[in-house]
Amino acid sequence: MNKINPIILVLGSLLFSNANLQAADTEVPTPHSPVTIQATDAENNAENQADQNLFETTGSNTSAVDKAPVTQADLEGVRTQISVLQEQWQRKLDKGTVLSTRNANLSGSFTVSYGFNNGNLTSLGVNDGFKVGLSSVGFKGNLHRDYDEGKNIDYALTIGSDKTSFNLLPSDLYLSYQILPSLDPDKPYLYVTVGQQKKPFGLEATTSDDKKPTVTGAQFASTMKLNERDLGLLIHGDLFPVNDYGFKYRVPLIEYNFMVLNGNGPIGTGNLVNADNSEDLLGRIVLNAPVEYSHVLRGLSFGTSFYHGQKTTSITNNAVAVASKGDRNRFGADIAYVNTPIGFTYEYAQAKDPVSIAVNKINVLSATNSDSHTFTLFYNFGEQFVKGYVQQDRYDDWWPNSYTSIHNQRKQT
């Protein structure tokens, strides 16, 4: 019996320990401890295989046909489709797009006016009715673009009609080269332009047709031959520029223009031959207010211009035309304040022209003096005079019954 008791004790301890191990493996979690479920590799593989079969049946995965190698016929089919698309795109491009070897900007303008004469003065040359005072179409582009320094070569060609016969003649016809680098707006610019172009004298002569306050310009600009184009070489530049990067506004403190020209008017009026066989000189200097775009003095400038040349005059003496040359001079000063909404311009111009008179049947060279004062006051309104315009409206309402909020926002640029 004593020998049996130790054996029973050993067997009992082994049974209790095995029971504890099984209980640990199958312990029921308490409500306060989370349940952790661990999946075996076999279960994971089974789930992946099921997903794979599902994708293959729905077509979401690559099929056996897609895994097949590409044949020569497949490549030819793709190439044919690409060729058809290219042909369709090129056909659409040829029909709806103007092509050029270099980039070009197209512009144009025309004016329609109505005139009446209430004094029956035929000497004024004004009849009652409508007329087209000016029409033009222009092309401006780039012949060479310098991406390193911005020393570009540009061109301009503008064809316009005269006011009487409506014949088409070139008005702007020139080449321009940027001597100094132009990629940095903080540095000064310098251009040289050769060909037929505007004369940089005063405000009226240099203002483009779409920026003039009235249909016709000031009278002195036409009588002094300042608004005519002329053939010559122009050097234009500026110094000490000020930049407002927020509005893309650049204004130099000093602008200068110097021009050597024939002085005989545009092409079609004998300018190609330069009948007087001499060149005229022209210069203009402008001082601008070096301020930012939002400053109250933006658009304030002072300018002065001069012109010196020669003019051939003649007089008939005993049925013989006697010609002589005399100095033709112009001087001008101007002030401008072009801002929003109120602005003004004032320009003074003085001219001296030679004339031939007969004194005792002898040709005597004399001179006539003339001057002019031009003042313009304007008031502009509307978003067309600002850099950008954004209108924002919002409507917000709340109904207590349905607790619905309505928001409506509208933007117009």
Question: Residue length, the chain?
Answer: 413
Q: Torsion-angle region of residue 412: left (phi > 0), alpha (psi -120 to 50) or beta? A: beta
Confidence grade of residue 213 (pLDDT, cut at 50, 70, 90): confident
Instruction: Give CA–CA dist 152/128, Å, rounded.
Output: 49
**How confident is the prediction for the chain on average, in pLDDT?**
76
Confidence grade of residue 122 (pLDDT, cut at 50, 70, 90): low
pLDDT for the residue numbered 408: 40
Compare 329 and 356 and report the one with higher pLDDT. Answer: 329
CA distances from 305 to 188, 235, 329 (A): 21, 14, 11
Taking alpha carbons only, the member of 178, 157, 180 closest to residue 169 is 157
At 125 the three-state DSSP class reads coil
Q: Torsion-angle region of residue 309: left (phi > 0), alpha (psi -120 to 50) or beta? A: beta
Q: Are 285 and 301 in contact (CB under 8 A)?
A: no
Instruction: Give CA–CA dist 268/146, Å, rounded.
Output: 35
pLDDT for the residue numbered 282: 95
**Structure-block tokens of residue 208:** 């483009």
**Structure-block tokens of residue 245:** 């990067």
- Average pLDDT of the residues in 324-347: 90
Half-sphere exposure of 150 (CA within 13 A, CB side): 11
Q: Highest mean pLDDT range out of 24-28, 327-331, 341-345, 357-361? A: 327-331
Which strands, in side-by-side order, build the sheet including 362-379?
104-115, 129-144, 153-161, 168-178, 190-197, 230-244, 249-261, 280-288, 300-317, 320-337, 342-359, 362-379
Sequence-distant (≥ 6) Cβ neighbours of residue 302 within 8 angstroms:
286, 287, 334, 335
pLDDT for the residue numbered 384: 53
Instruction: Give CA–CA dist 251/299, Å, rounded.
Output: 9
**Structure-block tokens of residue 50:** 């099921």
pLDDT for the residue numbered 90: 86
Confidence grade of residue 115 (pLDDT, cut at 50, 70, 90): confident
Q: Torsion-angle region of residue 361: left (phi > 0), alpha (psi -120 to 50) or beta? A: left
pLDDT for the residue numbered 108: 84
**Structure-block tokens of residue 374:** 């031009």
